[in-house]
Structure 1
């Protein structure tokens, strides 16, 4: 997958002006500046719709309400808007966002448009709870705690030993003709 490149405002404005004011072709400007024609077309659309503000960096990870998402999807249906026209009308950075909304709406209805929780679920937290008492441990509890520690240490050493042995086996394979 190709790395996504972020272009600054001045660069975008210069490219758009070369196409619009200097009347040069999209393909020539795109090739000279090492930009995709699609990106250049998008910049021109945003410039014509919003002026200089259309070329400013877009807000990343914007969250949209369910009502807004439904409004966008319904206006696409009723007005027969293309995805690019809908992006311009509703100030949405890319058409892939709307495509995702359409997929989720088709699969789950309006429930699919609700925001999803992000990050690791809370149930994945396996940290052992610490004792919160001031009482000293009994002899049996101390021994159990030490046994647990030694078992964990033993497992780590076994894994390390297996790793070293596998690396040695790989080196031996490389050395043999």
Structure 2
């Protein structure tokens, strides 16, 4: 799982970058940040979208299909880069647009509506407890009786089919017609 950095920490790193004394790599090493590209991303987000772009979001932002299509259309028509397009639409993650484009090319507009990632557990059927999974004795007896009845009915069905095939009547019921 990736490390989460606080807003204050990100601001301190970005401000130190703008002082002009240290570069991306040096700042990453100084503050023990995993990659210099993360520092670069913070600086670019700050330049493009301001301070608020450094704040962590609680959950995923869900964008409507129409918005995604507008973003993709703008990028296609203008030939703008992912970063320029993201800046235009106030998105702080240009790779999001690349993901939308890939999804659109793979499956059209319908694919853009499909969530990417692991599905939530919300729609799964609840698991039964072990107690409710076990049958009590009377249920087991009833199941065995039903199985026996099914077997008997199968045999009776075969018997009646054979009688019909031979042109004979069922001797158990004199009023019963010969056809099944």
Q: TM-score, normalised by structure 2?
A: 0.61
Distance in 2 (CA, whole Å) between partners of 1:107 and 1:69 is 15
Over the aligned positions, Cα root-mean-square deviation in angstroms equals: 3.2
> CA distance change for structure 1 residues 123 and 28 in 2, over 3 Å: closer, same or farther?
closer
Per the alignment, residue 80 of structure 1 pairs with: 79
Per the alignment, residue 48 of structure 1 pairs with: 47
Q: TM-score, normalised by structure 1?
A: 0.62
Long gaps (5+) in structure 2:
146-180
| CA offsets 1:4-56 (integer angstroms, 9 cap, x no match) | 11110111111111110243222211111122221111111121223322221
Work out which of the two has the higher radius of gyration on C-alpha atoms and give 1 or 2: 2
| Deviation beyond 4 Å, 4+ runs, structure 1 | 120-127, 139-142
The 3-state SS of whatever aligns with 1:144 is helix
Per the alignment, residue 111 of structure 1 pairs with: 110
Distance in 2 (CA, whole Å) between partners of 1:59 and 1:141 is 49
Deviation at 1:69, TM superposition (A): 0.4
| CA offsets 1:54-113 (integer angstroms, 9 cap, x no match) | 221135311111100001111111222222222332233423322221111112211211
Long gaps (5+) in structure 1:
131-138, 148-177
